[in-house]
Chain A
Amino acid sequence: MGEILKVHGLTRHFGGLAAVMDLSFGVQSGEILSLIGPNGAGKTTVFNLITGTLLPTQGEVVFQDHKITGLRPYETTSLGIARTFQTTSLFYDETVLDNLIVSYHCRTRMGLWDALFQTGRSREDERRCCQKAEEILKFIGLSERASEFARNIPQESQKRLALGVALVTEPKLLLLDEPTGGLTEEENIGMMGLIQKVRTRGITVLLIEHKMKIVMNISDRIIVLNYGQKIAEGSPQEVGGNSAVIEAYLGVGYGKN
């Protein structure tokens, strides 16, 4: 057990505004760490900085003891960091199964030559893609929807599929951005169960979530952001009683002490 991800002094400015300011934290291997905070606190920006969608103005990101600051998203994914997006992002023109198949591409080795001449390697890779896709399809519980188009399936299935797409890339660290967005109470529970199943596979989870019930139930640790800065860090109990946190959410005057 060690720190699978470390973030040092991470800062990102947009024009004059600091979306993230001097943020440092670590993610323990195998844990579920939740990132919470009011709207606009910079949580998705942190994800973007980790995956490489955005470049930090300052600071660095270290993944498994390798500096990954400035790498592009496809490179961080190859290294083992996968993510979902706050607004569900899928290949809508493709079927559920095809969504999963293409997402395994980064773990294959075939190239143009293999495709043209249908070499052993290409057939092997294509078989592995299908195999992996089927496996994840079962894992996320969408086996019946395999040949439906992603744009036609219900919201909850889309969220599951997005999770599946990220899982197919065989990540060691999974960044989930509001995986229960728009889901009902019942669906929340289903998604929570899925996230816990993910952890049993040995995958570390970094979670952005608004629904406090889920956060308190599922997290090993919580980090609270406000205006791009860390204002609290600790176990759910520690954070729940923290006055700065309460103030951030409910306004000045509500915090005790």
Chain B
Amino acid sequence: MNRIAGKWIILAILVIAVIIPLVVTNKYYMNILIMSGIWSIVALSLNLILGYTGQVNLAHGAFFGIGAYASALLMLKLKLGFWLALPFAAAIAGFFGFLIGLPALRTRGSYFAIGTLCFNIIVTLIVDRWEGLTEGARGLMGIPGPGPIPLPWGGEISFKTMAAQYYLVLCFLLLTIFVLRRIIQSLVGRTFRAIRGNEELAEAVGISAMKTKLLSFTISCFFAGVGGVLYASYIGFLSPELTDYHVSFDALIYVMIGGVGTIVGPIIGTLLIVTIPEMLHIAAEFRLLLYGLILIVMIIYLPRGIVGWIKGLKGKRRQEVVWEKS
């Protein structure tokens, strides 16, 4: 696919994305799209540490939840507005990412996966039991949405309608894509790939594995937090299940199906997984069955996901293995 055709396709997709709320008025479908947008941000952020840096992080749900709960608490208890709460909450998620990354990233491979999973469980347990802070299993209710933005020429943008919320999520999705892309295409991004490809060699050429992984992990958790904040504001209600490791598994599936190590992969994966079962009204248990089967099939036959497979067909990359032997 040459560059120019690629640019036109992206433009077309953007146009479609912008027009959608004008065309689709059904609340049910709009809800699906908004949720897809939020989950895409989560999947993209996971992809940074998983796809590009090669560390299988199973605590992502915890950071999504931390971002969500942090913003909710900031808005409900400290009466901060959405626009102030968002960066703070995401920073808190990123900060916890840094704290947890410090011990966790000293391990690798399956040990790292299990270790992060355990961190996730610890977070869920704490959120569930620390009723004084989080209302425990009862959950937090009445989380306000974003406040209106005043316009310089009078009037304001309010976020009461679904269309407005859709655009909000879309903007943040585009922002996330933009920022992550910048990082990935820079020298910093190259060091991430170096760690993924051959950690020992990366260290031998002067790249600190620990610092690099920590950076990737922290940024990843920051954006997971952004997703969490958007979720909290949109749904208005939070419960400890949102921090559960099943969320981490979900994010893993979105990324693996779409394609690790690509920008567009996680988005496609999320869209497929979130929209199709929903549209087909598949029951929850069967959905779970489907996810499991797809994950198994993918990891054996298409470890680079759908997008990776397509790129492979075009001769760009031709490996079966996603990570180096550890």
Contacts and interface: CB of A to CB of B under 8 A. Distances in A.
Q: Are chains A and B touching in the complex at the 8 Å CB cutoff? A: yes
Interface of A: 51, 53, 72-74, 77-78, 82-83, 85, 89-94, 98, 101-103, 105-108, 110-112, 114-116, 118, 122, 125-126, 129, 149, 151, 165-166, 168-169
Nearest to B188: A115
Interface string B198-213: 1011111111110000
A98 B215 CA distance: 21
23 contacts: A51-B204, A74-B209, A77-B204, A78-B206, A82-B204, A85-B201, A89-B198, A89-B201, A91-B193, A91-B194, A91-B197, A93-B193, A93-B196, A93-B197, A98-B190, A102-B187, A105-B190, A112-B188, A115-B183, A116-B179, A125-B187, A126-B186, A169-B206
Contacts of B205: 74, 77, 82, 102-103, 105-106, 165-166, 168-169
B293 to A, nearest CB: 28
B203 A74 contact: yes
Given A74-B208, A92-B198, A118 B182 contact: yes
Nearest to B322: A93
B198 A74 contact: no
Nearest to B215: A112
Contacts of A116: 179, 182-183
Contact of A101 (B190, B201, B318): B190
B189 interface: yes
Interface string B286-302: 00000000000000000
A53 B182 CA distance: 33
Contacts of A83: 204
6 closest A-B pairs (Cβ-Cβ)? Answer: A106-B206, A115-B186, A77-B206, A103-B205, A91-B197, A102-B190
Interface residues of B, number: 29
A91 B187 contact: no
Contacts of B209: 74
Given A89-B198, A102-B205, A105-B207, 4 more contacts: A72-B203, A102-B191, A110-B187, A122-B187
A125 B190 CA distance: 13
B53 to A, nearest CB: 13
B300 to A, nearest CB: 19
A73 B202 CA distance: 9
Interface of B: 179, 182-183, 186-191, 193-194, 196-198, 200-209, 215, 219, 317-319
B34 to A, nearest CB: 27
A108 B215 CA distance: 17
Contacts of A51: 204
A169 B215 CA distance: 22
Contacts of B319: 92-93, 151
Contact of B201 (A91, A106, A108): A91
A112 to B, nearest CB: 6
Chain A interface main SS type? helix
B101 to A, nearest CB: 15
A73 B205 CA distance: 8
Contact of A126 (B187, B200, B208): B187
B198 A91 contact: yes
A126 B188 CA distance: 10
Given A89-B198, A94-B197, A105 B204 contact: no
Nearest to B317: A93
A108 B189 CA distance: 14
A16 B187 CA distance: 44
Contacts of B187: 102, 105, 108, 110, 115, 122, 125-126, 129
B201 A74 contact: no
Nearest to A129: B187
Contact of B204 (A73, A118, A151): A73
B127 to A, nearest CB: 29
Nearest to B185: A115
A118 B187 CA distance: 11
B304 to A, nearest CB: 11
B42 to A, nearest CB: 20
A90 B198 contact: yes
B203 A73 contact: yes
Contacts of A91: 193-194, 197-198, 201
A151 B187 CA distance: 22
Most buried by A among B188, B202, B204: B204
B260 to A, nearest CB: 12
Contact of B206 (A74, A94, A114, A151): A74
